[in-house]
């Protein structure tokens, strides 16, 4: 049985998969499909996973955005843009953070701090 996270109380993870993020052309040593599956399985019951087309941050691929649950957003927590999430340790850190509650509920893991970036200005 699959446990589905309640969107009203859970963070949302958006994974960019389009022209640069998620392509072996730019990052041939990364198993992009396995990364998405690991995120999907890892956050199941704790958060929602959305696979998106281009988030317009191609120079920072692979990009993952972790958005707080609505209550944390209302309390001031902001989405966190993570750049260059290209290995299993970083992917696992994202999963662990979401399982702990994500932005507004749990501190950002130290390992992810160097990967935090700004939302692109379109």
Domain locations in the chain as residue ranges: 12-117
Residues 82-104 pLDDT 10s:
999 999 999 999 999 999 999 99
What is the Cα–Cα distance from 61 to 85, expressed in whole angstroms? 7
**Backbone φ and ψ of 8, nearest 5°:** -75, -20
Q: Strand locations in the chain, DSSP E?
A: 12-16, 48-52, 64-67, 80-82, 116-117
Mean pLDDT across 24-36: 91
Residue 45, pLDDT score: 94
Radius of gyration of the chain (CA): 13
For residue 49, give every residue at least 6 positions away whose Cβ sits within 8 Å of its Cβ, in sequence order, or none. Answer: 12, 13, 14, 15, 36, 39, 40, 43
User: Residue 47 in 3-state DSSP?
Assistant: coil
Q: Please give the CATH number for the structural domain made up of 12-117.
A: 3.40.30
Least confident of 18-22, 59-63, 86-90, 110-114: 18-22
Residue 62, pLDDT score: 94
Indicate the pTM of the whole model: 0.92
């Amino acid at each position: 049985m699959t446990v589905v996270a309640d969107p009203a109380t859970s963070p949302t993870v958006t994974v960019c998969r389009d022209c640069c993020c998620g392509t072996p052309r730019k990052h041939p040593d990364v198993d992009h499909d396995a990364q998405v599956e690991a995120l999907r399985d890892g956050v199941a019951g704790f958060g929602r996973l959305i696979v998106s087309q281009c988030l317009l941050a191609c120079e920072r691929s692979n990009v993952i955005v972790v958005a707080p649950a609505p209550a944390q957003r209302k309390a001031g927590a902001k989405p966190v843009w993570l750049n260059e999430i290209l290995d299993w340790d970083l992917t696992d850190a994202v999963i662990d953070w979401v399982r702990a509650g994500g932005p507004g509920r749990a501190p950002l893991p130290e390992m992810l701090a160097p990967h935090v970036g700004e939302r692109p200005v379109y």
